[in-house]
Amino acid sequence: MTPSADSNVNKFLNSLELPELGRTIGEVAQKVDVNSGKSAIHVQIELGFPAASRHDEYRAFIADAIRGESGIDDVTVELETRIVAHGVQRNLKPMPGVRNIIAVASGKGGVGKSTIATSIASYYASQGKKVVLVDCDPQASSLEWLAARPSGRSTITGIDGSAGQFRAPRSADYVVYDTPAAVHGKELSAFLRRAQSIIIPVLPSPIDMRAATPFIQSDALEIRQTARRVVGDAEDLHTAGY
């Protein structure tokens, strides 16, 4: 094939939507390399999100799509994942050795913070990532869940952060904060100021929506404006083996 043919395959791949993800390879890949010959195509794709449990499915899907588009049967696809550290808020440095910090917070209790935090931690651990779950709530629901979790599951390091002082292990891919219920002001900022992503659960009821409104508009406004939004990373939680 000619360089222009390689370019056509690359363009096709960048517009190809991955199954169930609802996003194209061009949107979620860090790198797409195409190497074509007269009768074979070799593709290397580097994804920017954890998807180890779906690599085989994605390889088969992408190879079949290329065969259908190019008419060439000899197609090989290599997939790998590379997690990139996201930015923190202005005037702050990332936590040394930690790639990404996700905080789950709410101005009201009983909205499922611990369920979401443990689910996120489970998902990333199931993808082979180094995960730390910091339970900042004195109720310690996340740590209790971790203690009851079967030993054969993928490793999650638990930390009691309820006293406000803790040290996350270096080289963690993801640190997930389960924050206390109904925290506000400086206490809230202390938990969230180094987070790259903030998740605010809201139950679909008038009471919960009214409680969430002042939390988002006042307490979390500055943090919400400067933090990165969660896009894509948590979209595949249904694939995790909890």
What are the tens digits of pLDDT across the range 84-141? Answer: 655 544 554 555 556 688 889 887 888 899 999 999 999 999 888 889 999 988 889 9
Which of 81, 111, 140 is the last residue in one of the domains? Answer: 81
16: tokens are 């190809």
Question: Is residue 92 in a domain?
Answer: no
CATH code assigned at 57: 3.30.300.130
Question: Is residue 195 in a domain?
Answer: yes
Q: Which residues neighbour 55 within 8 Å (Cβ) at sequence distance 6 or greater?
A: 79, 81
Least confident among 18-27, 58-67, 218-227 = 218-227
What Rg value do the Cα atoms of the chain yield, rounded?
A: 21
Question: Is residue 104 in a domain?
Answer: yes
Q: Domain residues for 222?
A: 100-239
> Pick from 201, 198, 174, 196: which is nearest to 188 by CA?
198
Starting at the edge strand found earlier in the chain, the sheet holding 131-135 runs 157-160, 131-135, 174-178, 100-104, 197-199
**201/186: higher pLDDT:** 201
Bin 86: left if φ > 0, else alpha if -120 < ψ < 50, else beta: beta
- Per-residue pLDDT reduced to its tens digit, 165-200: 677 777 788 999 998 876 777 777 766 777 778 888
